[in-house]
Amino acid sequence: MGFDEMDVDTIWMDGEFVDWEDAQVHVLTHGLHYGTGVFEGVRCYDTVDGPAIFRWEEHLQRLYDSGKPYDIEIPFEPEELTDATVELIRRQDLQSCYIRPIAFYGYEELGLNPSNCPVNVAIAAWPWGAYLGEEALEEGVDVAVSSWRKYASSQIPTNAKTTGPYVNSVLASLEAKSNGYVEAILLNKEGHVAEGPGENLFLVRDGEIFTSGLAESNLDGITRRTVIELARDLGYTVYDQATISRGELYTADELFFSGTAAEVTPIRSVDDNEIGEGTKGPVTDEIQQEFFDLIEGKLDEYDDWFTYI
Ligand code: PPE
């Protein structure tokens, strides 16, 4: 994704709308040196009732919660961040976009104790298409189990979406790509399946759906929650506290990723082992279709998941 050719020119920063090129921080920003920031990835969809942010309240809640272990107190009320985001989208006339709120310890002094540093907050929004490519949504992706393990929740809280620890995802992602795969799957310290570098993972076996429990060092993904609810409403049995071994990946009937950026992306192979028929499976297809209907605003029963612009 490049920003140059995009039709977006404004960023909200610390209470004000500033020009894209003026949204700068000092090079001695605490968060740059120590990764002391928390962030979100949210999508706004062009629904049949107009542009609407998907599950904004949940993302906002996770942003505030993510800051807790680090004493990052966001100096804005949730309503202020909501208003800023809605206005940001309106000003740039975006119909659908990816929204990136971030809060981080700013510039005051370095050293590991951040308590004298201000907390800076910014929100950007820009168009962002299919994370792993349009074709991936249809055909599925080829993935590899990473040689890097997911950091354990006993080392860094994995339910917080903190900037610094994403170096773990970057390593897994780089490794997968340099070996010719589209994406990675990370095992946790115990060797169980944790998640993708930027996605949760679902497994289908004998018509039932499994996803790693939240104590497996994965993020409590909001798309994960959405998929669980949609699947149950479709009548599937979903085990959402599963422990999944590496071997079970290879023998699964179907596998798919979920995430704000990745949406619902089928996995067609793991470590060169074909999964199912080596393409999008029927259960994945049904859930993905339901998900796309949902984000197009066609499913009235989930209307309270949308914040209209
Ligand atoms: N696990 C990880 C590690 C993760 O980063 C994400 C989101 C998820 C699971 C899914 O969570 P949710 O979006 O709430 O369903 N990854 C974000 C960042 C992607 C990026 O490349 O940056 C995202 O999807 O927005």
Return the domain boundaries, the chain. 3-126, 134-295
Residue 4: what pLDDT?
Answer: 54
Res 6: pLDDT: 64
Q: Which residues line ligand 1 (CB under 6 A)?
A: 41, 169, 195, 198-200, 219, 221-224, 258-262
How confident is the model over 189-209, as pLDDT tens digits?
999 999 999 999 999 999 999
Instruction: Give the nearest ligand 1 atom to 262 CA.
Output: 24
Instruction: Enumerate residues 6+ apart whose C-beta is below 8 A from 26.
Output: 106, 107
Alpha carbon of 277 to ligand 1 centroid (Å)? 27
Instruction: State yes or no: is 150 an active-site residue.
Output: no
Give the amino acid at 222: I
Can you give the pLDDT at residue 129?
A: 86
Quick check: 2 pLDDT over 60? Answer: no
CATH of range 134-295; options 1.20.80.30, 3.40.50.2300, 3.40.50.300, 3.20.10.10: 3.20.10.10
Flag whether pLDDT at 166 surpasses 60: yes
Please provide the distance, in angstroms rounded to a whole number, between the alpha carbons at the two ends of the chain: 24
Q: 34: Cβ–Cβ under 8 A, 6 or more apart, which residues? A: 105, 112, 114, 164
pLDDT at residue 24 tops 80: yes
Taking 90 as the threshold, does the pLDDT of residue 42 lie above it?
A: yes
pLDDT, residue 133, reads 87
Q: What is the pTM of this model?
A: 0.97
Look at residue 11 and tell me whether its pLDDT is greater than 90: yes
Distance 197 CA to ligand 1 centre (A): 8
Instruction: Give residue 81 CA to ligand 1 midpoint distance, Å.
Output: 20
Domain 3-126 in this protein, CATH class:
alpha beta
